[in-house]
Amino acid sequence: MSSVVIETHKLNGFYGDAKVLFDIDFRLNEGEVVGVLGANGAGKSSFLKAISGLMKVEPGMITLRGEAIGGSEPGEIVRKGIAMVPEGRRLFPSMTVEENLKMGAFAGRKGRWDINSVYAQFPILKEKRNVPSTSLSGGQQQMVAIGRALMSNPDVLMCDEISLGLAPVVIKDIYDSLPNIVSEGMSVVIIEQDVMVAQRCSQRLYCLQEGRVSLEGASEALTRDQISQAYFGI
Amino acid sequence: MIETITQGILLGGLYCIFALGLSLMFGVMRLTNIALGDQIIISGFIAIGIASVLQLNIVLIGLALLPCAYVSGYLFQRAVLNPTLSRDPVPSLVVTFGLSIVIQNVLQELFSANPRSLDSGGLNTQSIDLGGGFVIGVLPLIIFATAIACTFGLQMLFSKTSTGRSFRAVSDDREIAELMGLSAKKVYATATGIAFCLIAIAGLFQSMRTTISPADGPSLLLFAFEAVIIGGMGSFWGTFAGALILGITQQIGFMFDPAWGIWFGHLVFIIILFIKPNGLFPKTKG
């Protein structure tokens, strides 16, 4: 059995006084792709924010290979090997494509990914290396966002709705690149609203509803009815 | 008229050095440092103090002042300004406004209200005769060259170095910059350290060029602020251009009447603010 990389234990999260995550138990194994499904406001992005350090939680609520990391600073989390592709890409608008990619290497982790391997993965970015990131198409911007996260050589890559606002053919291209990315033992968390995409690309699925886990299981084993019920609560 | 414009350009060089610290802090942190003018004045008084106690020449005073300015800026940001930074600009404005009053009162207590100046070793009286009665002061020329060097240096720092990339990253999106492994608090402190070096240079030049007194700070802040707004927030060459426009305008005003120069500058500032609220060469949003 593969080893557990990230685990959450009764994870509770708050925005001010408002509780948005309720007792979430989650597990991510080494080399595994796990999908997290849910409607708008289900708590998917908040869940990723808690893991990445952008939402403060109790230390023991999140562990990385057994080490409590909950509530750590985002910089510390990325240096420990967890990188995030944020919802809406959120590239640095004042920077070129290459400058954006280099920002990902600030954490200083060594490994397979550097500027050349990212360009090998996404050749179009090499052609556009010196253009402002804001001038790229949505799909190309998403490649930059993924490449920027890879530049930190993470053990865990967390992708927050990378299909949002993109054409189906572009979404397919981006998800087709995932097997190559995870081929060397990297674990991936995919946040998605698109049930079919999440089910196709992941080995296990979690469904969130109003900040709680409403369904969990192997992606292949879950039926459409089960997911619909857990997704919409009807 | 050419002489007036030349003097205006040289005066603009000094305003540029006043304004670069403000432009840097606003560009990186969206923070308006109301105490900037008083920090320039306190730097001038520190330079005068060092000169009178240690009998050092201007270059050595400058070399002593810069590392002290960087460290004090870094620590000031970490201890005082970082806790005030949020989407709401009011806390940082209130803190720097309060600091401005504290600095003025402390300087009044320590040095009295009497104006003082830094002995430049005759530099402020030396000039170059270009013929036909056209004379340029050596000190204003040095100040202008320093202004170009500082503007160029800051632009290079921002566009070519990883420190500059980190400044731009926290300015663009602090949350995502932190997800890249940056500590925004350290980046802000580094930026303020550099801004304080520029403030120290401004204080050194201002105290060499003319007399300074504890209450002078607000007017220097006003010139710096006008230069930044005319040029456009967050753009260093824009700040440089804004400072030159302000300097030239003031000199033209002085040409008509010695009492008109300052308000001529204010007038042009208001006109540009009315026509182009983001300044002539804006680089930052919002």
Rounded CA gap, A68 and B67, in Å?
A: 40
pLDDT at B133 over 80: no
- Who contacts A179 (Cβ-Cβ below 8 Å, separation ≥6)? none
Residue with tokens 């010139």: B223
Give per-residue pLDDT as tens, B141-196: 999 999 999 999 999 999 899 999 999 999 999 999 999 989 999 999 999 999 99
How much is the mean pLDDT over chain A? 88
The residues with which A34 forms a beta bridge, in sequence order, are A189, A204
Q: Identify the domain containing residue A173 by its residue range.
A: 4-232
Residue B79 carries which DSSP code? I
- Collapsed DSSP state (helix, strand, coil) of residue B183: coil
Looking at per-residue pLDDT, the higher value among B235 and A129 belongs to: A129
Phi and psi, residue A206, nearest 5°: -120, 140
Mark yes or no for CB contact B180/A90 under 8 Å: no
Cβ contact A106–B181 (<8 Å): yes
Residue of B nearest to A48 (CA): B179
- A53, pLDDT greater than 80: yes
Q: Which residues of A touch B174 (CB under 8 A)?
A: none
pLDDT of residue A38: 87
- Calpha distance B42→B48 (Å, rounded): 10
Query: What does each C-alpha distance from A122 to A69, A89, A139, A186 come to in angstroms?
Result: 32, 16, 11, 18
Whole-complex ipTM: 0.87
pLDDT above 80 (res A72): yes
DSSP label of B282: -
pLDDT digits (tens, 9 = 90+) for B98-119: 999 999 999 999 888 888 888 8
Question: CB count, 10 Å around CB of B183?
Answer: 17
Percentage of residues of chain A with pLDDT beyond 70: 98
Reply yes or no on whether the pLDDT at A1 is more than 70: no
Q: Which chain B residue lies closest to A81 (C-alpha atoms)?
A: B181
Contact A83 B179 (CB under 8 A): yes
A152 contacts on B by Cβ (under 8 Å): 180-181
* B1 or B136, which is more confident: B136
Residues of A in contact with B176 (CB under 8 A): 86, 90, 92
Mean pLDDT of chain B: 89
Domain residue ranges in chain B: 2-110+135-275
| Distance of alpha carbon B2 from alpha carbon B134, whole angstroms | 9
Q: What is the mean pLDDT of residues B258-285?
A: 83
Strands (E), A86-184: 156-160
Q: What is the CATH number of the domain that holds A60?
A: 3.40.50.300
Q: pLDDT band at A197, cuts 50/70/90? A: confident
Q: What is the pLDDT of residue A2?
A: 64
pLDDT score recorded for residue A89:
86
Q: How many CB atoms lie within 10 A of CB A10?
A: 12
Query: Band of the pLDDT at B245, cuts 50, 70, 90?
Result: very high
If you write DSSP's letter for every residue of B19-61 in order, what string do you get?
HHHHHHHHHHH----TTHHHHHHHHHHHHHHHHHHH---HHHH
Gyration radius of chain A's alpha carbons: 17
Q: Inter-chain contact B166–A95, Cβ cutoff 8 Å?
A: no
pLDDT of residue B283: 66
- Sign of the dihedral defined by the CA atoms of residues B144, B150, B153, B157, in that order: negative
| Mean pLDDT score, B270-285 | 80
* B175 contacts in chain A (CB < 8 Å): 54, 74, 90
Cβ within 8 Å, pair A74-B166: no
**Across A11-26, average pLDDT:** 90
For residues A192 and A35, what is the distance between their CA atoms, to the nearest angstrom? 7
Residues in B closer than 8 angstroms to A53, CB to CB, are 178
Average pLDDT (A38-64) is: 91
Q: Are A12 and A21 in contact (CB under 8 A)?
A: yes
Give the confidence band of B135 by pLDDT, cuts at 50, 70, 90.
Answer: confident
A-B C-beta contacts closer than 8 Å: 60
| Structure tokens given for A228 | 């619909």
B166 or B134, which is more confident?
B166
Residues B71-79, mean pLDDT to the nearest whole number: 94
pLDDT band at A5 (very low <50, low <70, confident <90, very high): very high
Count Cβ atoms below 10 Å from residue A165 Cβ, excluding itself. 14
Nearest neighbour of A78 by CB, restricted to B162, B165, B181? B181
Confidence band, pLDDT 50/70/90 cuts, at residue B241: very high
CATH of domain B2-110+135-275: 1.10.3470
pLDDT of residue A16: 85
| Stretch B63-79: mean pLDDT | 94
CA B237 to chain centre: 14
| Residue B206 CA: distances (Å) to CA of A44, A167, B101, B212 | 56, 59, 20, 7
What pLDDT does B286 receive?
36
Least Cα separation, residue A100 to chain B (angstroms): 9
In this predicted model, which residue has the larger pLDDT, A71 or A234? A71
CB under 8 Å to A131, separation ≥6 — which residues? A96, A97
Instruction: Answer whether residue B213 shows pLDDT above 50.
Output: yes
Lowest mean pLDDT among A45-54, A101-110, A165-174: A165-174
Say yes or no to pLDDT of B227 above 50.
yes
Q: What does the pLDDT look like over B191-207, one tens digit per residue?
A: 999 999 999 999 999 99
Lowest mean pLDDT among A133-142, A189-198, B4-13, B69-78: A189-198
Four-point Cα dihedral B31, B34, B39, B42, nearest 10: -160
Which phi and psi angles does B28 have, rounded to 5°?
A: -85, -45
Q: What is the pLDDT of residues A77-117, one digit of tens each?
A: 999 999 999 988 899 999 999 999 999 998 888 888 899 99
How far, in Å, are A221, B86, B107, B202 from residue B99 at the CA level?
65, 19, 12, 19
Distance CA(B246)–CA(B224), nearest Å, equals 10
pLDDT at A165 over 60: yes
pLDDT tens, position by position, B8-28: 999 999 999 999 999 999 889
Q: Are the beta carbons of B172 and A94 separated by less than 8 Å? A: yes
Q: What is the phi/psi pair of residue A187, to 5°?
A: -100, 150
Q: What's the pLDDT at A36?
A: 93
Q: What pLDDT score was predicted for residue A234?
A: 65
Is the confidence at residue B43, as pLDDT, over 70? yes
Cβ of A108 within 8 Å of Cβ of B181? The answer is yes
Q: How many domains does chain A have?
A: 1
Q: What is the pLDDT of residue B121?
A: 80
Query: For residues A58 and A72, what is the distance between their CA atoms, to the nearest angstrom?
Result: 9
